[in-house]
Amino acid sequence: MLLILSYLSKLRKMWPITLQWGLLLGVVAASARQNILQVPNSYQSYDHGLFKPAEDLSILSETEFTTLSHPAFPRYGVRIKKSTFCDETVKSYTGYIDIEARHLFFYFFESRNDPDKDDVIFWTNGGPGCSSSLGLFMELGPCRVLDANGTKFHPESWNSNANIFFVDQPIGVGFSYAEYGETVGTTEEAAKDIASFVSIFFEHFTKFKGRAFHMAGESYGGRYIPVFASEVYDQNARLVEAGLTPINLASIMIGNGITDFFSMIPSYFDMACTPVSVPPILDISTCVRMKQALPRCQKWMKESCVDQFDSMSCGAAMSFCDAEIGAPFFNSKKNPYDISKDCEGEISDTLCYPVTKHISSYLDRPSVRKLLGVSDSLNTTKFTSCSNNVGRDFAFNMDEFHPTQYHVAALLERGIKALIYVGRNDWICNHVGNEKWTSQLEWSGGAAFSTQALREWNVGGKKAGMTRSANGLTFATIDGAGHMVPYDKPKESLELINRWLSGQELTLQWSCVLGIITTSAQQTFLELPSRHNSFDQCPFNPIEDLSVLSETEFTTLGHPAFPSYGVRIKKSSFCDATVKSYTGYIDIEARHLFFYFFESRSDPDKDDVIFWINGGPGCSSSMGLFMELGPCRILDANGTKFHPESWNSNANIFFLDQPVGVGFSYADYGESVSTTEQASKDIAAFVAIFFEHFSKFKGRAFHMAGESYAGRYLPVFAADIYDQNARLVEAGLTPVNLTSIMIGNGLTDFFTMMASYFEMACTPMAVAPILDINTCVRMKQALPRCKAWTQSFCIDQFDSMMCDAAMGFCSSEMWDPVFASGINPYDISQECDGGVDDTLCYPAIEHISNYLDRSSVRKALGVSDTLNSTKFSACSKEVEHAFFSGMDQYHPTSNHVAALLERKVKVLIFVGKNDWVCNYLGNERWTMDLDWSGGEEFSGKPLREWSVDGKKAGMTRSAQGLTFAIIEGSGHMVPYDKPEESLEMVNRWLSGKEL
């Protein structure tokens, strides 16, 4: 990517569609199926006397090239010589890869440690068109050229523990050349040459055969390396067929790469206009214009470059994005490779780093060229760090608009590890864009990777950056570094590579003292000790009794099994003086989730534990606490009032504000959670930490309950807790006794629910029809189309764009008429009291918010001071928008429910009959259709009446652990509308009785 800026002004004149960051577009000229390896017939291999390897590099001359070839690669040869320069402590070599009339120059340095055993690294710089001499003499090589005095020994070279290549590629870069003007214009063409060279080298120098081989690069290396590595991997099958030794491709390492151009473009706004690395560097008016242009840029790119590649339209789209998103940054004169600095010199002259000119001057010395064996045909050619001609050829072929994240996924699926490391201060190939594509990568380990929190990694006891790792994929940021991490942070980059080569996690190994451990590929947040040690043998002392907690200060809890998590908790005597109550935060690095905990009114030392969340997504569980099932209620401006039908009558109970941004939960630096799966990891870790610390609750029956969007949340949360139990046992910890989930008026299957809206509004299924005939006729006519579209685009095959369009249609035809009617969508037997957006049709919500804005209340609860200037909001629009933008609601969790039932976790689905938005018809339908071993028995049972104190409460159906219950006279919030019935229902459920 370094080249991109140097020929920018020329390209903009020649090609109207060129991007500011220097990328045009490309046709792949070489067939991806082209076979450059010539395979012998089945009766003969190359080991049968046709080929004798050179075997030992020590036989090479210092003055003349030795020419290597191989019958398997008749078009390829390698010229190589000793070249003692740069670092006299190791053997070094230079030479050419000869592809007929094309010749690629390379440097090779043996390891300073153990060249006969250490791994082999292949390095290429980016551009496209930049010489790997930049990597050698400026970043990670055995010597550096930092001024006019020539080379200087580099103690943090990557050859400290590895043998390493630096290759000038493709043709026309650095000292590489073509005899008759031949060129390479695509990454795929270049890959064939690299794969052949690698095979020839390993075949000749047998002491390196079978060594772990790592392909590394930076910048446009994010496009190169995945394709090069894929070619090497695929070539292995042909090597084996030819009787040759396959390459032991172990990993790829990409530094500040441009792997997915389309993920990178939107991140340019974040890097320039938000404090994701440094304070915003562009003025407000410019940032506003960029923000307004961004949606059009993304939409146009997606339509013309991603969904269907149209070279002319894609070029036009990228030209627009260039002008609106890229150009403002370049006009600022900041260094695009390190936004913490100004550009030093002209970009086209120095790439903002004057050292590049010293490198060019050094490589123009005749004595140096002679020592390296540079071709005489280049005697009259000045060395240039980056070739404008090569960059233009790649740009003309639109090469950069072919993302290679699918190659990365394919390599991961084949056991090839991938390290994506990024200096935080780079703009052009930044950490935001790289984290985005790695988190969204589709592969079998994707869920484990994307749901893991970023964790701090350290060098010498100091923070080096943040990292996330799972199943062979590691993403790492390096604080204080720009585009060229080894240049800016040599010690940290060497430590990063050494840990990677040795197979260690960046966070190093677990210790009892620190509570840090290598992350297992089988989990995302629970850290296991070795099989010979358990956490019970480590310095972890649980708090046996909650009574030791302070009323004025938080007690902080941690556990070595969960190094990224902590819990702050304090006594908070409020709401119900008859029981002990507590509040606090779950701390997940820079994210903090607020909770309330009330002991049981009956027998807190024996009663079950209930975990409660409200829905939204984005609504605070203070609604459940103060309006529905908590020990006190706030129904007017007078504050709290004792609630006799609280669910803590016979259970200990949590209320949790989740995810981050909801209620009193907050993030230090604006971090957010936008999927249920992300939120779930935090919940599971918190639950385990709580039970480990407060041992009197260990082994208690644990029930997860909630309403509304909790129909999406709870099945996923419970599944994570269940799956986590196996890892707890392996770690010598006590598993959580997950007994049941209880979902009230839940949105478990969005698509089944959508179809029920007509029946609830236009037929007397709960109350008399609430909409006029004309509206109902229109809804009835739209319903088949709504069902067909959602089935085709959301269920049979999920197409995010088409599914969103289908749901937009369904919403306008099935949803909007009810909200326009003035009826309370949460209880269609009533008018909406106040606006839906303002009070959710329940004025009590305003009273709750006012109560929680009292400074005395916040102090008693221990609410963070960072929220002092923030008004309490029952529901967060920002969180709701984040979840809906990610289409979280379009992922039904009925399959999670089935899986829990199969594992003997009971399920209660209870529904107020008068609710419209998450109604009983939709909930009954999905429970009847649920595919599980008890499904036939459950669906074959009729609904039966259930009663409280001799009066009908509703109807119910139950079989093999699944219970469905209707509560008559109730709307969306059953404990609010029918407190006596809801408490009786829960008490029967906890005691194991049928309703």
CA 537 to chain CA centroid, Å, is 34
Q: What are the percentages of helix, strand and coil residues in the chain, rounded to 5?
A: 40, 20, 40
Q: How many residues does the chain have?
A: 995
Q: In this structure, how many other beta carbons lie within 10 angstroms of the beta carbon of residue 609?
A: 25
Backbone angles phi, psi at 877, to 5 degrees: -65, -35
**Per-position DSSP letters for 499-563, written without gaps between them:** HHHTT--TT---BTTTTB-PPPTT-SSPPP--TT--GGGSS------GGGS-SSSPEEEE-TT-T
Cα gap 417→471, rounded to integer Å? 8
Cα gap 555→553, rounded to integer Å? 7
Give the residue carrying structure tokens 């916040």: 858
Q: Which of 402, 483, 896, 972 is catalytic?
A: 483
SS3 string of 900-949?
A: HHHCCCEEEEEEECCCCCCCHHHHHHHHHHCCCCCHHHHHCCCCEEEEEC
Report the alpha-carbon angle 793-797-798, nearest 5.
65
Backbone angles phi, psi at 661, to 5 degrees: 100, -5
Any catalytic annotation for residue 219? yes
What sections of 205-326 are H helices per DSSP?
221-241, 261-273, 284-301, 311-321
Cα gap 886→450, rounded to integer Å? 14
Cα gap 475→324, rounded to integer Å? 29
Cα gap 94→698, rounded to integer Å? 66
Contacts of 54 (CB under 8 A, 6+ apart): 60, 66, 68, 204, 205
Handedness of CA 930, 934, 939, 942 (dihedral sign): negative
Cα gap 201→248, rounded to integer Å? 13
Cα gap 342→365, rounded to integer Å? 31
Contacts of 112 (CB under 8 A, 6+ apart): 87, 89, 90, 142, 157, 159, 160, 161
Give the residue carrying structure tokens 């036009």: 316
**Per-position DSSP letters for 861-879, written without gaps between them:** HT--GGGTTS---SB-HHH
Any catalytic annotation for residue 426? yes
Contacts of 950 (CB under 8 A, 6+ apart): none
Any catalytic annotation for residue 322? no
Residue 450, token pair as written in the block: 């994307």
Q: By three-state DSSP, how is residue 741 classified?
A: strand
User: 836-844 contacts: CB < 8 A, separation 24 or more?
Assistant: 840/874, 840/875, 842/627, 842/973, 842/976, 844/627, 844/634, 844/635, 844/636
Cα gap 683→612, rounded to integer Å? 11
Q: In this structure, how many other beta carbons lie within 10 angstroms of the beta carbon of residue 605?
A: 10
Answer for the pair 955, 970: CB distance below 8 angstroms, yes or no: no
Nearest C-alpha neighbor of 486 from the set 249, 250, 167, 253: 253
List Cα–Cα distances, 193 to 69, 78, 253, 992, in angstroms.
Answer: 14, 11, 20, 70
Q: Which of 426, 488, 576, 720 is catalytic?
A: 426
Q: By three-state DSSP, how is residue 888 classified?
A: helix
Cα gap 267→894, rounded to integer Å? 35
**Cα end-to-end distance, the chain, whole Å:** 67
Q: Which of 219, 304, 740, 756 is catalytic?
A: 219
Cα gap 924→847, rounded to integer Å? 34
Active site residues: 219, 426, 483
